[in-house]
Amino acid sequence: MDHTQLTGNSIVAGRDVPGEGPGWRGAVAATGEPRGPWLRDASPEHVADAARLAAAAARDFRTLPAPRRAAFLDACAEEIEALGDGLLELASAESGLPRARLTGERARTCGQLRMFAALVRGGEALGVRVDPALPERLPLPRPDLRLRRIPLGPVAVFGASNFPLAFSVAGGDTASALAAGCPVVAKAHPAHPSTCELVARAVTAAAERTGIPAGVFSLLVGRGIDVGQALVRDPRITAVGFTGSRAGGLALFEAANARPVPIPVHAEMSSVNPVIVLEGALTDPAALAAAYVTSLTSGAGQFCTNPGLLLLPAGDAGDAFRAAVAESVSGTAGQVMLTPGIAEAYTKGWGRWAAVDGVSVVARGVPAEGPYAPGPVVLECDAAAYAAHEDLAGEVFGAAGLLVRWSGTDELLALLDGLEGQLTASLHGGDADLATAGRLLPVLEERAGRILWGGWPTGVEVCHAMVHGGPWPATSAPATTSVGTLAIDRWLRPVCYQSFPDTLLPEELRAANPLGIARLVDGTPEPGAAMDDHRDGVPPRSASGPGGA
């Protein structure tokens, strides 16, 4: 079958599986018009088959030599790139996102697949620790103890509406889970089902090309909650990765914890990403306001790191910033939002803010052409109004910002103490504000996974030191990240081997360290060399593989 042919089917372990029940179609984001093939939801039997085949493939997949797994990840990137401009055109139609944005997102998607391939080859994610036996130690000898991390097993991945490539079928959750050695059963997002199918066919082609067991990857189609709930409840699924709304994440979290054997849910749910402006940052209020509005309105504000809350000093300098924000926002136009439902929720959401006593509209941008491109908006209230109305603390997904005016460091600290967990928190100040910032920092460390000085939270670098996570309810697992190489930790667990014969140990734990990986030996780092990339039996990508959609 042509890997670029869209059918609307689920793909279970490499096989096309037509769904059941009422038919439905994807839509053009800008108009709401139906597009693409007819789809039908995966049946409960299809969900069970995908989980069963993933579990059957799990042991073979996790015991493959690391270079084979790395070659698969590289092949996934190659097959996605080979889809060409057709993938970008399709994703743009389904999401409303501009071609330039999606070009960068495709590069990020393929870059993180290759980043995890390099991590697998280097062996760092195994976390090997060796504490050799101390038979002469008094008062008791120490046995030989060796630790490595092994994959949890099949992972259910739910992609995000706002990143149809980088946080979707082959996005960061899938890339990190496959790198860990975990099979993935992905749930296609109903906002961009054809994009999901096309990328899933690329991953399937990469598995075929590199000799990876077919059960290692499946894609399930589903518009409502039934398919996702059935997947999370299947006893063969061992962990969940989710990016989306708080309601969706909490529903999966509750389902996972209601199982006879609960499983971890790594859900990124919501965040208002507070920006704290101190007096010293307001020497050039116009420039600061322009940077704020750029961050707020980028991508129609549809980023999980959008600066939805800005804490601004009362007084003349803060007034000048507010005036500059009003001027900047008034000159902006709306952008097509991801779905008609998201556009409607955005308009209702900031409307709820505006209806609260003590809240006023600072400025509104103009809607763009079409029914689903509402204009940006910035509103304002004081600290007392914000603290008194719980609804103001919630996220409005889109280009809606709330300025909260504070007077004095104590009032600012009280505001920060009252915040929920966040993905990010940003500080803007000058040299004279360093002492105040030092007082705020301990609170911000408790509230956020990433803290910025002098910057804006939109834009997440994919690298080793990045944390894209945070305390509840920004995420359901505050000790983890969904971006960067540390994301692989979510799908691994440690196993200790005590007093084993060397020949029975996994290679990475043996005395001679035949894989040449870095290890911690008796508390001292032992450097290693990266594993050789043996590609025996892994053919290069054929010209007859995926092309344009």
**294: which 2 tokens?**
């750029």
Q: List beta partners, residue 17.
A: 10
| pLDDT score, position 544 | 34
| pLDDT score, position 533 | 46
DSSP state of 314: S
Between CA 74 and CA 428 the distance in angstroms is 40
Second CATH level (architecture) for the domain 42-269+481-489: 3-Layer(aba) Sandwich (3.40)
The dihedrals phi and psi of 250, each to the nearest 5 degrees, come to -65, -35
- Inter-CA distances, 223 with 70, 193, 233, 237, 270, Å: 33, 9, 18, 20, 21
Amino acid letter at 508?
A: E
pLDDT per position as a tens digit, 80-112:
999 999 999 999 999 999 999 999 999 999 999
Q: List beta partners, residue 147.
A: 129, 496
Residues in the chain: 549
Q: What is the CATH number of domain 275-453?
A: 3.40.309.10
Sign of the alpha-carbon dihedral angle for 350, 351, 356, 358: positive
Answer whether 364's CB lies under 8 Å from 309's CB. no
| pLDDT score, position 3 | 59
| pLDDT score, position 540 | 65
Between CA 10 and CA 20 the distance in angstroms is 11
Sheet of 155-158: strands edge to edge?
15-17, 10-12, 217-220, 184-187, 155-158, 239-243, 265-268
Domain boundaries, the chain: 42-269+481-489, 275-453, 498-526
The dihedrals phi and psi of 248, each to the nearest 5 degrees, come to -65, -45
Catalytic residue IDs: 268, 304
Mean pLDDT by 10 residues, the chain (549 residues): 80 97 96 96 98 98 96 98 97 97 98 98 95 97 98 97 97 98 98 98 98 98 96 98 96 97 97 98 98 98 97 98 98 97 97 97 97 98 97 96 98 97 98 97 98 97 97 97 97 98 97 95 88 52 40
> Virtual CA dihedral for 209, 210, 211, 213, nearest 10 degrees?
-100
CB count within 10 Å of CB 524 equals: 8
Amino acid letter at 170?
A: A
Alpha helix ranges (H) inside 171-234? 172-180, 193-210, 226-233
Nearest to 253 by CA among 477, 491, 480, 468: 477
Q: Tokens 């589903």, residue?
A: 222
